A and B are shown apart, each in its own frame.
Chain A
Amino acid sequence: MKIGIEIHQRLATNKLFCGCSCEISEDAKHCAVMERRLHPVLSELGEADRASKAESSKERVFEYQVFRNNCLVEMDEEPPGPLNSDALKVALQAALQLNATPVNEVQVMRKTVIDGSNTSGFQRTSIVAMNGHVDTSKGAIKIPLIAIEEESAGIVSAGDPKATYRLDRLGIPLIEISTTPDIKDGAHLTEVAQKIGMILRTLPGVARGLGTIRQDVNISTEGGARVEIKGAQDLKMLPKYVETEEKRQLELVKLLAELRSRKALPVKRHEIDVTKAFHDTKAALIAAGLKAGAIVLAQKLPAHKGLLGKELQHGKRYGTELSDYAKLAGVKGMIHSDEGMEKYGITKDELAKVGRELAMGENDAFVLIVAPKAQAERAMGHVIDRANMDYVPQETRRANPDGTSSFMRPLPGRARLYPETDVPPITLTKEMLDSVERTESLEHKKEKLEKMLNKEMAGRILKSRHLHLFEKLVASGAEPMLVATTLEETVVSLRREGVEFPDLEKTLSDIFQEFGKGTFVKAAMPEVLKGMAKGARAEAVLKVYRLQRITGKELERIAEECGHDMKAIMQKFRLQVDPQEVSILLALKKKAKETRQN
């Protein structure tokens, strides 16, 4: 088995080919909507890419939601600007950390993508550096190329014939890092992904937070095929995807052997309209379809009995795989004869009618598709194409949260790339490369953090999205451990209570500056922060909420009032006194008393 990984990391610069901001919010409302269609552009050889063909058979309309952070470039109404040099710089910094060699000239290419996720019908992508590697516990893993590319539009709904996308994220710069398929096993895969992810997070220009990094896993097995599993979010799940995919391919190989021994292939296309068999049906799914003008299309799969129900992954059968192909035509799925017909409400009588129409034999199976005629025929075509693959097909599959995967589309062939003539190439001169600061290596950073924090907290900060804020605050003189606990604990628990900080950096620089003056105590930190959430300065919050530190003569006075009882003082003035100062004061008082008594 061969395993490789492709990592996509979003950057926090402006967009790659226009001046739009990359700050996006899930709650933002779009300000306009537009509708577009894409048509495959044939190359001179007349070959449309196989993934492109599968998409174009759907005759789709794409609706795009346009946001405030969009301009005519994302709408494909204006040529792109030059490649964002800030983004290029971050990509070069990543290349240096991954021991790769920058190319002499960056050439921007167009990669054909016609599923609607790019308004132009292609994604702009460029190789920035080559021949890198990352060191792991099981040896170095090669990184043959590091590219910079545009993020696609986000899918809102994938209906048929209309799919809706939002354009706010389109054009955000992504660094793409792909390894050779030399990763040893599932655990090693997690390690490689974690290591590359951590290296990326140490760079100042990368975006942090949910969805800003994505992993696509490439797996191929002996006797099987290369499959790409897209969109795995949880790194701990990666070994599970590897294990499931290996098993799925193994089961498919066994199933193919069985099909061969039964001489079941090829399946001849001969679909029959069996709508009549269901004219008075109680089967809800079929009845609803017929009412909406659909037909019931049936196809016999000779000598397939029992095989459609064969489980390939947990809860997913060979029938599911065929059904996923049917979905390429925009149908919701299909019904097959290895399923319990009761669950659909199909009666024995209806089943017998279908059987007669198809001239079913003892060992035959069938599939039914309920959809408008043209769509049902397209869907059935895809099912038969899949059924006739006497090999494990190369596919792009979606990672499901339970560790299984589902077919998305055929694996794109050798990517159709051609030059983006609207963007001039960028020569990476020596001066430009010299101006790219070499960022601190992950190892060095880790060592430094472990010196100023305990090992556990150092690990947390290294993985934190606030790593760079931590470094900034410490550099301005704040106490490292206090900064770390404030970022990783206080702020987190306040957020859970619903306290939000629109500008966390500004708030924290202010509060640590104030704390540095000694005007309040550590215990008051959460209260002061809470007060500042609405935008007030720390100094004002201290006054309004009476959180100023009590010290010196005033402390002596309240100590007197509380009868020099530590517990009583702390109970009453916890947020205003420094326990250390109180205990020193009390110790001094005690000593003075003892001296007096003596």
Chain B
Amino acid sequence: MVYSAALQEEFRKKGIKEGDRIRVAGEGGAFEGLMMPRPHHGDAGIIVLKLDNGYNIGIRPLSVALVSKSQKVTRGTEQDDDRKKGDIAILGCGGTIASRIEYETGAVYPSISPQELRATFPALERWPMHARQLFALFSEDLNVHHWRLLADEIEKEIKGGSDGVVVMHGTDTMAYTSAAISFMLQNLPIPVVFVGAQRSSDRPSSDNEINLLNSVFAATHDFGEVGVCMHADTNDDYCHIHRGTRVRKMHTSRRDAFKSINSQPLFAVDYRSKRFDPLSEYKKRSKEPLLARKNLNPNVGLVYTHPNIKPEFIAKLDIYDGVVLMATGLGQVPTNSMNDKTVHGILPQIKGLISSGIPVVISSQTIYGRVCMRVYSNGRLLMDAGAIGDGADWTPETAYAKLCWVLGQTKDMKKVGEMMMTDYAGEISVRSEACP
């Protein structure tokens, strides 16, 4: 609650709490209703009152009185489901898809219990499933710690005999997490499907339902990769399953924000028509034993190069154990290959990082296309300095998650270079396909 200090004092004196029925006298007359929490915007001296007709209005109070205390029932603590062999596991990590609204106040919580999940999506009944909440955070707050925790939980599900795993996750950093899990858990014997929602779950039009049901439906099928299940287009029709290392969020708000970069989605899916169409090559459920290499190095930076970038700034990146640069075009940074007096190159600083044992990995700001540092001299100089990435068609986020993972496996610079350029989870392709 962010009411003004004076109002808070007034509430305290009169024993008024959020949700209580109060009477507020303002200039326009006296109004009765429920006291609502103050939104963060606006004037903290104005009381938000829910009238009996359901509307909220803001009144600057001349006087306030308590009418009756709130009858609000406190929510009981709800239990996680028990794991059952052969079930689909739904793991909650927060985000829009797993958020619920408190209708009285309008507050949104990034958390949903298994009971609430079933009540909200009754159609989940058609698949045997169990659910639990791992953490309840907005995706921009997630980090390596959460990737590790999630990988541990997915491994538990695999070992416990689950038939597929669905991960409910915020969309903003979903591509980082899906890429990281792709490297940490290889030879997957079951599908791991990330799912999110672009439009808030408190609206009847939310994309959460179709995305979730399609993700569970997809998780029952025969593929052994990390996928991301989101709307294929603006219609509430079918979803795409994207490869976890290839996917990127390409729009701030649209339902079809998620796109496969430099590749086709894995599948088109629709649980209603039981459609599960492969759109590109994919791995079946692995018969080989699960390869869990879950160590990560969190101390990695991702930096966007730009005109006017300062050499000193690049030098300061030595606080990291590894750096991914989002370079321009085919993979260039200002290196001043023309020896022009007006140019400030950053090549000496990059060389400095590499020679002190900090790998520098190149990806492109163009997002689409392959890094080809051999074409221009600025790129060649970068390559000669030992920058990694020539020939890779990865997204910056995948390059980033991969470097965190590689540096969790080895500190040897030569090995880092080799591992970065080895395709582990479909993140690098040999050829850029001409046909869509």
Of all chain B residues, which has the CB nearest A426? B42
C-alpha gap A114/B204 in the complex (Å): 7
Per-residue CB contact flags for chain A residues 115-140 toward chain B (1 = under 8 Å, else 0) read 00001111001110111000000000
Whether A419 contacts B106 by the Cβ 8 Å rule is yes
B284 interface hit (Cβ, 8 Å): no
Which of B50-58, B145-153, B343-351, B389-397 makes up part of the contact surface? B50-58
Whether B29 contacts A104 by the Cβ 8 Å rule is no
Least distance between A430 CB and chain B CB atoms (Å): 11
Taking a contact as CB atoms closer than 8 A, the residue among A72, A119, A414, A419 that contacts B39 in the complex is: A419
C-alpha gap A41/B208 in the complex (Å): 11
Per-residue CB contact flags for chain A residues 73-96 toward chain B (1 = under 8 Å, else 0) read 001111100000000000000000
Question: In the complex, what residues of A have CB within 8 A of residue B54's CB?
Answer: 109, 111, 414-417
Least distance between B236 CB and chain A CB atoms (Å): 5
Per-residue CB contact flags for chain A residues 517-548 toward chain B (1 = under 8 Å, else 0) read 00000000000000000000000000000000
Of all chain A residues, which has the CB nearest B27? A101
Whether A39 contacts B57 by the Cβ 8 Å rule is no
Per-residue CB contact flags for chain A residues 25-52 toward chain B (1 = under 8 Å, else 0) read 0000000001111111111101000000
B281 interface hit (Cβ, 8 Å): no
Report if A36-B57 is in contact (Cβ < 8 Å); known contacts: A77-B254, A418-B106, A427-B42. Answer: no
Question: In the complex, what residues of B have CB within 8 A of residue A223's CB?
Answer: none
Whether B28 contacts A102 by the Cβ 8 Å rule is yes
Of all chain B residues, which has the CB nearest A144? B53
Of all chain A residues, which has the CB nearest B254? A77
Whether B53 contacts A36 by the Cβ 8 Å rule is no
Whether A105 contacts B57 by the Cβ 8 Å rule is yes
C-alpha gap A30/B254 in the complex (Å): 20
Report if A105-B27 is in contact (Cβ < 8 Å); known contacts: A41-B202, A121-B205, A418-B106. Answer: no
Least distance between A432 CB and chain B CB atoms (Å): 12
Whether B204 contacts A39 by the Cβ 8 Å rule is yes
Least distance between A344 CB and chain B CB atoms (Å): 36
Report if A76-B237 is in contact (Cβ < 8 Å); known contacts: A109-B54, A427-B42, A427-B58. Answer: no
Of all chain A residues, which has the CB nearest B235? A35
- With an 8 Å Cβ cutoff, the count of chain A residues facing the other chain is 53
B312 interface hit (Cβ, 8 Å): no
C-alpha gap A3/B253 in the complex (Å): 45
Least distance between A275 CB and chain B CB atoms (Å): 28
Whether A424 contacts B253 by the Cβ 8 Å rule is no
Whether B203 contacts A77 by the Cβ 8 Å rule is no
Question: In the complex, what residues of A have CB within 8 A of residue B105's CB?
Answer: 419
Whether A104 contacts B102 by the Cβ 8 Å rule is no
B210 interface hit (Cβ, 8 Å): yes
In B318-345, which residues have CB < 8 Å from any A CB?
Answer: none
Report if A120-B204 is in contact (Cβ < 8 Å); known contacts: A42-B120, A77-B234, A109-B56. Answer: yes
C-alpha gap A106/B56 in the complex (Å): 8
A400 interface hit (Cβ, 8 Å): no
Whether A44 contacts B102 by the Cβ 8 Å rule is yes
Whether B103 contacts A418 by the Cβ 8 Å rule is yes
Question: In the complex, what residues of B have CB within 8 A of residue A126's CB?
Answer: 55
C-alpha gap A105/B53 in the complex (Å): 17
Whether A34 contacts B234 by the Cβ 8 Å rule is yes
Whether B203 contacts A122 by the Cβ 8 Å rule is yes
B26 interface hit (Cβ, 8 Å): yes
A464 interface hit (Cβ, 8 Å): no
Q: Residue among B29, B57, B199 with the most chain A CB within 10 A?
A: B57
Report if A416-B59 is in contact (Cβ < 8 Å); known contacts: A104-B26, A424-B39. Answer: no
Whether A105 contacts B43 by the Cβ 8 Å rule is yes
B169 interface hit (Cβ, 8 Å): no
B60 interface hit (Cβ, 8 Å): yes
C-alpha gap A417/B36 in the complex (Å): 13
B259 interface hit (Cβ, 8 Å): no
Question: In the complex, what residues of A have CB within 8 A of residue B104's CB?
Answer: 44, 418
C-alpha gap A417/B49 in the complex (Å): 13
- With an 8 Å Cβ cutoff, the count of chain B residues facing the other chain is 51
Question: In the complex, what residues of A have CB within 8 A of residue B13's CB?
Answer: none
Taking a contact as CB atoms closer than 8 A, the residue among A42, A107, A417 that contacts B58 in the complex is: A107
A181 interface hit (Cβ, 8 Å): no
Whether A104 contacts B58 by the Cβ 8 Å rule is yes
Question: In the complex, what residues of B have CB within 8 A of residue A111's CB?
Answer: 54
Whether A105 contacts B58 by the Cβ 8 Å rule is yes
Total A-B Cβ pairs within 8 A: 148
B41 interface hit (Cβ, 8 Å): yes
B255 interface hit (Cβ, 8 Å): yes
Question: In the complex, what residues of A have CB within 8 A of residue B180's CB?
Answer: none
Report if A427-B55 is in contact (Cβ < 8 Å); known contacts: A46-B119, A121-B205. Answer: no
Of all chain B residues, which has the CB nearest A79? B253
Whether B59 contacts A38 by the Cβ 8 Å rule is no
Least distance between B181 CB and chain A CB atoms (Å): 28
Question: In the complex, what residues of B have CB within 8 A of residue A147's CB?
Answer: 55
B292 interface hit (Cβ, 8 Å): no
C-alpha gap A103/B42 in the complex (Å): 14
Least distance between B198 CB and chain A CB atoms (Å): 8
A576 interface hit (Cβ, 8 Å): no
Question: In the complex, what residues of B have CB within 8 A of residue A40's CB?
Answer: 204
Taking a contact as CB atoms closer than 8 A, the residue among B41, B51, B200 that contacts A424 in the complex is: B41
Question: In the complex, what residues of B have CB within 8 A of residue A145's CB?
Answer: 53, 55
In A374-408, which residues have CB < 8 Å from any B CB?
Answer: none
Least distance between B36 CB and chain A CB atoms (Å): 8
B108 interface hit (Cβ, 8 Å): yes
C-alpha gap A107/B38 in the complex (Å): 11
Whether A127 contacts B57 by the Cβ 8 Å rule is yes
A220 interface hit (Cβ, 8 Å): no
Whether B235 contacts A36 by the Cβ 8 Å rule is yes
In B1-49, which residues have CB < 8 Å from any A CB?
Answer: 26-29, 31, 36, 39, 41-43, 46, 48
Report if A105-B204 is in contact (Cβ < 8 Å); known contacts: A35-B237, A44-B103, A75-B234. Answer: no
Per-residue CB contact flags for chain B residues 215-235 toward chain A (1 = under 8 Å, else 0) read 000000000000000000011
C-alpha gap A114/B205 in the complex (Å): 9
Question: In the complex, what residues of A have CB within 8 A of residue B66's CB?
Answer: none
Least distance between B261 CB and chain A CB atoms (Å): 21
C-alpha gap A39/B28 in the complex (Å): 39
Of all chain A residues, which has the CB nearest B29? A131
Per-residue CB contact flags for chain B residues 68-96 toward chain A (1 = under 8 Å, else 0) read 00000001000000000000000000000
A97 interface hit (Cβ, 8 Å): no
B209 interface hit (Cβ, 8 Å): yes
Whether A119 contacts B41 by the Cβ 8 Å rule is no
Whether B236 contacts A36 by the Cβ 8 Å rule is yes
Of all chain B residues, which has the CB nearest A417? B54
Least distance between B290 CB and chain A CB atoms (Å): 36
Whether B59 contacts A103 by the Cβ 8 Å rule is yes
Of all chain A residues, which has the CB nearest B60? A104
C-alpha gap A120/B108 in the complex (Å): 17
Whether B103 contacts A105 by the Cβ 8 Å rule is no
In B220-270, which residues have CB < 8 Å from any A CB?
Answer: 234-237, 252-255
B383 interface hit (Cβ, 8 Å): no
Q: Residue among B26, B102, B203, B237 with the most chain A CB within 10 A?
A: B203
C-alpha gap A244/B404 in the complex (Å): 75
A249 interface hit (Cβ, 8 Å): no
Least distance between A61 CB and chain B CB atoms (Å): 8
A218 interface hit (Cβ, 8 Å): no
Report if A43-B103 is in contact (Cβ < 8 Å); known contacts: A107-B56, A416-B54. Answer: yes
Of all chain A residues, which has the CB nearest B26? A104
Not counting A37-B236, A424-B41, a sample of 18 additional A-B residue pairs whose C-beta atoms are within 8 angstroms of each other reads A35-B237, A37-B210, A44-B102, A44-B103, A46-B119, A76-B203, A105-B57, A107-B58, A119-B205, A126-B55, A145-B53, A416-B54, A418-B202, A419-B39, A419-B105, A419-B106, A424-B39, A427-B58
Interchain Cβ contacts under 8 Å between A and B, 6 examples:
A38-B204, A121-B205, A130-B31, A418-B106, A419-B106, A421-B106
On A, residues with C-beta under 8 Å from B are 34-44, 46, 72, 75-79, 101-107, 109-112, 114, 119-122, 125-127, 129-131, 145, 147, 414-419, 421, 424-427
Give the 8 A-B residue pairs with the shortest CB-CB distance, closest first: A105-B58, A121-B204, A419-B106, A101-B28, A417-B54, A424-B41, A107-B56, A38-B204
